[in-house]
Amino acid sequence: MLWRKIARHILALTLTVLLGGLLSAFLVRLAPGFTVDEAQLDPRLNSASVRALRESRLADRNILSFYFHSLNRALHGDLGTSISLGEPVTTLLRQRIPQTLRLVSIGVLLSWAAALALALSAAWLRVSAYDVLNTILSGAFLCIPAAVLALLSVLWNVPGSLAIALIVFPRVYRYTRNLLAKAYFLPHIITARVKGLSELRILLWHVVPVVAPQLLAVAGVSVSIAIGAAIPVEALCGLAGIGQLAWQAALARDLPLLTNITILVTLVTLLANSGADVIGDMLRGQRA
C-alpha cells in the first residue's frame, strides 16, 4: 500500500517535471528572437555565413521533435549541448550546481532565522511600536530592488547568500508573523494564557502545531523565491551558478540549456513543496 503510494507520487512528479520541460521549450520557441544570433550583425560576415548561422538555429524549430529527441538522449545520459556556450549541458550544470545549492540553502536558512526571530519576538512582546518597526524594516528590504541589494553585498564584501537572505526574509517574515498573530488569538490559546501557562509552553504546545502546516508551505515556497533571487544576485556578484547560467541562456535563447534548467528548477520546486506537504500531512495526521 505504502509502496504503491510512493510509486504514484514518483509518477506524478516525473510527469509534472516532463511537462515543465515541454512547456518551457514551447515558451522559448514562441518568443521572438529564437532564430537570431547576435553574431550575425558582424559586418565582416558574408551572406552565406549569416544564412548558415540562421539555419543552425532553425534545427530545433519543431519543438515536439526537439523535445522527443532530447528525452531520448537524456535517457542515455546526454542532456545535449548548449548553443551559446558550446559545452555539454551536463558539464555546465555539474560545474554550477554546487555554487547555487550553497547560495540558496544558506540564503533560505538565514532568512528563516531572521524572520522567525522577528516574528516570534513580535508575537511574544505584543508591543505595537515593535511590530511597526519590524514592518518598516521588512518593508524596506521588500522595496529595495534585488539588484541594489546584490550591489550592496559587493560593495560591503559580504557573501551573496546574505543578499538572497535579505530578499527572501521580508516575504517569509510577513507570512509567519500574520500566521502567528492569528494563532495567538485562537480561543484555546487565549484560555491557555489566562491559565498562566508559560509563553514558551504556549508556543511549543499550542501555537506551533496550529501553524506548522502553513509554515511548512511557506518554507517550501521560500526555496522557489530564493532560486528566483539567485538570478540577479549571481549575475551581479559574479558567482558562477545556475542563476547566472539561466540568465545567459535566456538572453541567447539557448533552448537545450533553458529546457534543462527549467526541468531542474521544476524538480527542486516540486521536491521542496511536496516535501513540505508530506511533513505537513504527517503532523496533521498526528494531531487527528
Q: Give the span between the Cα atoms of 97 and 266, in whole angstroms.
A: 14
Which one, 106 or 130, has the nearer CB to other proteins? 130
Give 201's Cβ-side CA count (13 Å radius): 7
Which one, 76 or 136, has the nearer CB to other proteins? 136
Applying CB under 8 A, among 88, 159, 213, 275 the residue interacting with other proteins is 213
> Which region among 66-74, 107-115, 191-199, 270-278 touches other proteins (by CB under 8 A)?
270-278
Give start and end residues of each alpha helix (H) in the chain: 2-30, 47-58, 63-75, 89-125, 128-143, 146-155, 160-183, 187-194, 199-201, 208-237, 242-251, 255-287
Which one, 110 or 258, has the nearer CB to other proteins? 258
For residue 203 the three cell numbers come to 508556543
Q: Give the span between the Cα atoms of 232 and 247, in whole angstroms.
A: 9
Q: Which of residues 169-208 bind other proteins (CB under 8 A)?
A: 170-171, 174-175, 177-179, 181-182, 185
Label each residue of 39-58 as H, E or C.
HHHCCCCCHHHHHHHHHHHH
Q: Give the span between the Cα atoms of 253 and 25, in whole angstroms.
A: 10
- Report the 10 Å Cβ neighbour count for 125: 12
| In the complex, minimum distance from the CB of residue 62 to other proteins, in angstroms, rounded to a whole number | 17
| Residue 30 sits in the site that holds other proteins (CB under 8 A) | yes
Q: Which of residues 101-140 bind other proteins (CB under 8 A)?
A: 122, 125-132, 135-136, 139-140
Q: What is the three-class DSSP state of 88?
A: strand
| In the complex, minimum distance from the CB of residue 128 to other proteins, in angstroms, rounded to a whole number | 4
DSSP state of 37: -
| In the complex, minimum distance from the CB of residue 175 to other proteins, in angstroms, rounded to a whole number | 5
Applying CB under 8 A, among 64, 147, 158, 278 the residue interacting with other proteins is 147
Which one, 109 or 270, has the nearer CB to other proteins? 270
> Which region among 71-79, 191-199, 200-208, 243-251 touches other proteins (by CB under 8 A)?
243-251
- Here the contacts of 227-232 (C-beta below 8 Å, separation 24 or greater) are 227/100, 227/104, 227/265, 227/268, 227/269, 229/107, 229/146, 229/163, 229/164, 229/167, 229/168, 230/100, 230/103, 230/104, 230/107, 230/164, 232/146, 232/147, 232/150
User: What are residue 125's phi and psi, to 5 degrees?
Assistant: -65, -40
| In the complex, minimum distance from the CB of residue 23 to other proteins, in angstroms, rounded to a whole number | 6
Site pattern 32..71 for other proteins (x: CB under 8 A): xxxxx-xxxxxxxxxxxxxxxx------------------
Applying CB under 8 A, among 74, 144, 192, 208 the residue interacting with other proteins is 144
| Residue 246 sits in the site that holds other proteins (CB under 8 A) | yes
| Residue 27 sits in the site that holds other proteins (CB under 8 A) | yes
Applying CB under 8 A, among 90, 106, 121, 277 the residue interacting with other proteins is 277
Applying CB under 8 A, among 118, 241, 256, 260 the residue interacting with other proteins is 241
